[in-house]
Structure 1
């Protein structure tokens, strides 16, 4: 009636589908990893510096060294130019290139130097890097000597054509000792540690110091080579000639050394060879030192990847998450420039950092978390005074509550088999009875048997193994104690002989050298407490500048909610540094003016004063950065900081800055 045009409704020919939506599948992108975004850019910059600057300048220096070395030869200008090019190629390929590759391979951000020279050398000898560096420098020195020197391997004699050339042996010996001395010098200087770009290796004072050290190393190695050659000729060769079959092997090569007189060992007979060896050692050290100085100058320079990256802020924040401290330090150094710059470009980049809503977590959250975690690790390392972190303690597992026993009516269990088993043969019955869970074993368990028969392993084998381990440990301890006893006895005999027969000045010199070798340096101790102080300073400066800039550039206030955490981390670190600074300052007491002290006491007091001053400088690097950072934040925000809540210790420390600023 309502529809006059009523009729049958046509059937649907298509199925019903839901309206597609992208809300459930849409995900927020995360910040790219450092290995994908920042590390390749930094490595490309460092590689370009290595090829276009370090290699080129080291080659030019080697050409100059080769030109001066060619003056030792003779001939015209053409001969000298050809010889200088040949020597330059040799110096660069055999001298500069291995040293640069060694630095590139083992560069690190972790200091490995000890608190005293003896501990430094002992730690260096326990590391494979020292062995690799020693082999590299020895091979480099030998190759330079072989290609640069005009000495032949054998003497020019028709009667004895296989006699070894003594001049070449002396030259090689001096080069090998020079490589050993230079390797130990690198270990003492911790040469493979990446240091700040503020160091100027090519300053005039540093150049003069390096040249003086190079000549001193050359002189020491020449003197040691002369002593080694003299001892080998006077003592070692006569002993070897008395060993059967050894003399038959040595006589065709070293027979002329035995026939020569001891007077021939005097330096006046070999002045030309000594001068040549000294000059070659000096040039070799100069090439090594110049190559390392180039590395120290160009590698720590700040890396600018702003033009090479589509989004510099994203790349830099991802670089702060890198596990390599060198890459992380480069990222924070560039962030520090952006955070502290007043240019419009830097302001726009800071605004993009604060207002980021594209990534999860946001750029600011990722940067803050990584910065505070790094500062927290170094803060804990400083509190532990360089000791390793204790292993994480696992909470004891709570015992599981026993299930409640439900009341039930006990029923008798059927202990007989419910299935009909096949009849076994007598042999199978015997085997089953002798099995581990058979009737024979059950009968033994139910019967009282003495332990000596029940378990031979527990009664005999395990005590025997424990006794054997105990005996081995006793033998090892006895051997170590014997070695220590022999060492102490030898040291006592040597000390008593020196005290009895040596002059007083010699004893004083030996005692001074021993004290210098074994005495701990307070500055090195503080370096071990703050191994990442350069990175910590950069982190503090980055956070300080960004927090101060957020007052006018943070549109959504995402920075303000992290200000309490940042200030708490800075003030906690600063408090610990100030407490330890007081302990360090208390170690030095100025000598009284009314009491006359000996020279030794004055030297000891001066040594303590120098170490306390050095420790204060190291502590001041991080302490001053923290003070400046907190003071800048307090001056910028002022009374606005009253809106935040701080722990009591942090609030009392912050109140001093509020009153001062």
Structure 2
């Protein structure tokens, strides 16, 4: 049979095997939406409100420098906000004095608080952070900007008094044109001191971390913005006064005591004499301050102007970066977006994702029910959206549960096993080595052995009788011991090693020991000559600085408690909603894992609460408290306050766990008997079932 002339073509088919996609990462779905909203808030909320406040402060400050309404009049005071000079100074003040601080806050924004149990540990942890040096540079630079603009304003506007109009860099003297102006130097150093003190306050408050609002955490707590503004203003007034008082004392002591000593140094004196020689003349510094209240008043006004601009800008920043947001509703699949968002590597992004997820889980409207039904029944991804969601939530809770059991300690590092020796290396190690024979292997003839010439040479080169006998005896020993026998032939004695030079007792001591000795001498001098109240004040300050706060220790064991509470509320609400909205039963197989994880976390928290109550060193009953001394009563009150704060920290997660388990027990009731739990978990769950 002949072959056909036309070849047979294969039948084409459009069907192809396609792999089911996985849930995309948060960097592709959720994070871009959140960053867009935060960028809009930064530009149209934070930048706008802070610039308006700076404009108002520049106008008020300029009117005050010019003498107020009594000198400008009503028309001049009303038109001062729209004058070109005021507008240009406002733009320069905000752009060079406030904007760098906001950029700094945005760059180093964090969501996990610093783990430290005392103010000293907080300060040490802040110093070790990479953000401290840039923060110090930013605050010092912006304070210098405020000072420069103040000098510019004082040269533009007419001053209220004649003394305040001489704020120049150098004094007006033809004989000494390079003498520094002491008034200007005083204001510049006052601003430097204020910037360092303001930064120290922010470091102690751990202000680079987000302060979550009550609305994000689901608490209906009203915030009183007017009261917050008043409190912040009073705080800045006191902080500026404290900084100026501290600077005034240091400046006076430096001019009266330190500067004369510096001028006695030969090289340094030649360098600074053309600029600061006039500071050695005149009356004492403190009398100069008494006669220059206008200068102190101007320094205080400039410092208050600086701190109010900083504080308002940072307060607005703290408010808007922590406000909740909703972005999943603008996407095609909100459930997919939220499931991807809670798996973000950024704790800050996770807060917003869990907040939205809790809203979705507890939404009782028909649209919320439809979104949950779509979440439970979706099968387009592998693993499914629900499987990814529950796995992510349990992983977050599990990691924080392990951190809580370790009491905030970092996870121990697992040492890598040592690499085993390869087969080639072991083969090289086991190869036997043949000793090298250095003698003549050929048997010598008798004639050669008894040659007269050879005998004569051997006689001349032979050893003595004793040496030959010793060598002959040693030749009979095995090779192992022969290697450790010293030759009997006398050798040249080795030269003695030079003795190490003795360390002189007058050498310099290490800086740490020198500091300890100096502090010990100062402390002994204070104890001997200072009044008793000085020692008590020093003891209280040192105790406040180094005393560990129990509440801060507990906070270190639950660093992500805000996220944990949101995750617990979300998973419990979704589990309860699955009873009516889960059509395929995909949630049912995960209910035992969910309940076991929640109860395990709750048992650990309750155990910690019980241990805190039993660790009290002081009595709590009024009868026993009356027997204590006044000092012990103060310590007992501090301990009680710390116990209350520690209990509040534990209750943030504990209350969410209890409420969620009660909700599950009330929803499922007797249906929970179909699941199997360990005895410890079952006993605890039975209590919630009986309660419901």
**Same fold (TM > 0.5):** yes
In 2 relative to 1, CA 204–159 (structure 1 residues): closer, same or farther, beyond 3 Å?
same
The corresponding residue for 1:46 is: 38
Q: Which residue in 1 is equivalent to 2:252?
A: 230
User: 1:248 matched to which residue of 2?
Assistant: 270
> Is 1:333 the equivalent of 2:355?
yes
Correspondence for 2:674: 643
Could you say which residue in structure 1 is the equivalent of 2:213? 197
Give the whole-Å Cα distance in 2 for the aligned partners of 1:487 and 1:335: 56
Deviation at 1:611, TM superposition (A): 0.4
Aligned partner of 2:313 among 279, 283, 291: 291
Q: 1:139 aligns with which of 141, 144, 155?
A: 141
Equivalences, count: 587
Of the structure 1 ranges 203-212 and 530-539, higher mean CA displacement relative to structure 2 is found in 203-212
Deviations, residues 163-209 of structure 1 (Å, cap 9, x unaligned):
21111111111111111111111111110111212288763443333
Pair 1:45–1:14, CA change in 2 (3 A): same
Structure 2 CA distance, aligned partners of 1:568 and 1:660? 18
Which secondary structure does the structure 2 equivalent of 1:153 belong to? coil
Counterpart pick for 2:93 among 68, 91, 94? 91
In structure 2, the CA distance between the partners of 1:480 and 1:636, relative to structure 1 (3 Å rule), is farther
Structure 1 residues 239 and 449 mapped into 2: Cα distance closer, same or farther (>3 Å)?
farther
Aligned counterpart in structure 1 of residue 630 of structure 2, from 586, 599, 616: 599
TM-score by length of 2: 0.80
1:297-308 to 2 correspondences below 5 Å: 297-308=319-330
Cα separation, 2, equivalents of 1:357 and 1:315? 15
| Alignment map for 1:54-453 (pairs within 5 Å) | 54-74=46-66, 76=72, 77=76, 81-149=83-151, 150=154, 151-198=167-214, 203-262=225-284, 265-392=287-414
Is the partner of 1:593 in helix, strand or coil? helix
Q: Unmatched 5+ residue regions in structure 2? A: 155-166, 216-221, 424-478, 486-499
Deviates more, 1:255-264 or 1:218-227: 255-264
In structure 2, relative to structure 1, the CA distance for the partners of 1:113 and 1:400 (3 Å cut) is closer
Q: Which residue of 1 is the match for residue 602 of structure 2?
A: 574
From the superposition, tell whether residues 114 and 480 of structure 1 become closer, same or farther in structure 2 (CA, over 3 Å): farther
Question: Which range is displaced more, 283-292 or 137-146?
Answer: 283-292
Q: Distance in 2 between matches of 1:156 and 1:398?
A: 82
* CA 1:208–1:601: 2 relative to 1, 3 Å: farther
Shift, 1:96, TM fit: 2.0
Partner of 2:429: none
Q: CA deviation at 1:560?
A: 1.1
Output the CA distance in 1 between the equivalents of 2:239 and 2:546.
Answer: 22
Whether contact under 8 Å (1:201, 1:297) holds in the other structure is no
Q: CA deviation at 1:495?
A: 2.5
| Residue pair 2:123, 2:203 contacting (<8 A) in 1 also | yes
* Offset of residue 245 of structure 1: 3.9
Match of residue 439 from structure 2: none
| Partner deviation per Cα, 1:355-383 (whole Å, 9 max, x = no partner) | 01111111000010011001000000000
Aligned to 1:22: 15
Determine the C-alpha separation between the residues in 1 that align with 2:185 and 2:174.
20
| 1:322-351 deviations in Å (ceiling 9; x for gaps) | 111111111111111111111122111111
Q: Structure 1: how far apart are the matches of 2:522 and 2:281?
A: 35
Q: Specify whether residues 255 and 305 from structure 1 end up closer, same or farther in structure 2 by C-alpha distance, changes over 3 A only.
A: same
What stretches of structure 1 of length at least 5 have no aligned partner?
1-7, 402-445, 453-470
Structure 1 contact 522–611 (Cα < 8 Å) conserved: yes
Retained in 1: the 8 A contact 2:59–2:80? no
2:688, 2:532 → 1: CA distance?
Answer: 58
Q: Residue 235 of structure 1: CA displacement?
A: 2.4
Give how far 1:616 is off.
0.3
Indicate the larger mover: 192-201 or 303-312.
192-201
Residues 10 and 377 (structure 1), Cα distance of their counterparts in 2 relative to 1, 3 Å cut = closer
| Corresponding residue of 2:538 | 510
1:266 is displaced (CA, Å) by 4.1
Comparing 240-249 with 562-571, which one deviates more in the overlay? Answer: 240-249
Distance (Å, rounded) in 1 between the aligned partners of 2:188 and 2:481: 81
Alpha-carbon distance, 1:251 to partner: 2.4
Match of 2:472 in 1: none
Change (3 A) 1:17 1:121: same
CA distance, structure 2, for counterparts of residue 163 and residue 14 of structure 1: 105
- Secondary structure of 2:323's aligned partner: coil
* SS of the residue 2:325 aligns to: coil
The TM-score, its normalising length taken from structure 1, stands at 0.83
Cα distance in structure 1, aligned partners of 2:552 and 2:508 = 30
Q: 1:110 touches 1:193 (CA, 8 Å); kept in 2?
A: yes
Equivalent pair of 1:153/1:168 in contact (CA under 8 Å): yes
Could you tell me which of 635, 653, 658 is aligned with 1:627?
Answer: 658
Matches within 5 A, 1:476-515: 483-515=511-543
User: How far off its partner does 1:109 sit?
Assistant: 1.5
CA distance in 1, matches of 2:317, 2:256: 44
Is the contact between residue 22 and residue 381 of structure 2 (CA under 8 Å) also seen in structure 1? yes
- Distance in 2, matches of 1:593 and 1:62, equals 57
Q: Which residue of 2 aligns with 1:558?
A: 586
Match of 1:618 in 2: 649
CA displacement at 1:159 relative to structure 2: 2.9
* 8 Å contact kept, 1:90–1:148: no
Residues 69 and 451 of structure 1, relative CA distance in 2, 3 Å threshold: farther
| Partners of 2:405 and 2:286 in 1: CA distance | 63
* Whole-angstrom CA distance in 2 between matches of 1:189 and 1:279: 25
Report the 3-state secondary structure (helix = DSSP H, G, I; strand = E; otherwise coil) of the residue aligned with 2:212. coil
Residues 480 and 118 of structure 1: is their aligned pair in 2 closer, same or farther, counting only changes over 3 Å?
Answer: farther
Map Cα deviations across residues 33-70 of structure 1 (whole Å, 9 max, x no partner): 11111111110000000000000000111112112211
Q: Which residue of 2 aligns with 1:590?
A: 620
Match of 2:437 in 1: none
| Deviation (angstroms), 1:148 | 1.8
The residue aligned with 1:608 is 639
Whether contact under 8 Å (2:325, 2:352) holds in the other structure is: yes
**Distance in 2 of aligned mates of 1:642 and 1:162:** 91
